[in-house]
Amino acid sequence: MIRLLGAVSLICGLLIVGTNLLTSARIRSNQETIMRNSVSELLPGAQKQIIYGVEPSGELKILPGLDTPGQRLFAGYDASGKLLGIVIESSARGYADLIQAMYSYSPEKQEIIGFKIVDMRDTTHPATVVKHGSKKNPWEIDAISGATISSRAVGKLIATSEQDVLPVVRKNLERIEKGE
């Protein structure tokens, strides 16, 4: 009985590993495309993108591609080279798994100007319920409803990343504006 269960588990494990090896390159390429499209969606009119990696010292480093792990920032510029905004990646634990999201921040207005869920496994999609309506204050979110845990995770991922990343953005803003 134990031998059979062991053999079944071994075969299943090998099949899963094999599929992972076969599909990982394609999945990575799909995720890169989604990420680039998300940046364009969150910063409409952006003609040029520069990807910055945040180093542990709080300094920024221009990344050649999306392969480098760690905290990344996507700066979007219009045709004249003016900074339109910065897209920040963030994640927080939802009900089923990590909720990965991207939001765009405008240093000029000092407010979040866009939000998008990139990956999540929860059954209710908070991205469909984060509404942009008539705001009285620039920092207000009109409503997040639906799944309680997913909604809280969305609030948490924005709050955490604001605390961690925005000081780095402010410190290096001049450099980002010049695209250096």
Pair 86, 101: CB distance under 8 Å: no
How would you class 132 by CB atoms within 10 Å of its CB: exposed for 0-12, middle for 13-18, buried for 19 or more? exposed
Token reading at 48: 């040029």
Q: Is 159 a residue that touches other proteins (CB under 8 A)? A: no
Q: Binding other proteins by CB under 8 A: which of 30, 68, 110, 148?
A: 30
Q: Is 34 a residue that touches other proteins (CB under 8 A)? A: yes
Segment lying near other proteins (by CB under 8 A), choices 5-13, 39-47, 79-87, 167-175: 5-13
- The minimum distance between CB 158 and other proteins, in angstroms, equals 19
Q: In whole angstroms, what is the distance from residue 63 CA to residue 18 CA?
A: 31
Closer residue to other proteins, CB minimum distance, 16 or 159:
16
Q: Is 31 a residue that touches other proteins (CB under 8 A)? A: yes
* Binding residues with other proteins: total (CB under 8 A): 26
Sites for other proteins among residues 89-148 (CB under 8 A): 96, 117, 119-123, 125
The strand pair at 98-106 and 60-62 is best described as: unpaired
Residues in contact with other proteins by CB under 8 A are: 1, 4-5, 8-9, 11-13, 15-16, 19-20, 23, 26-27, 30-31, 34, 96, 117, 119-123, 125
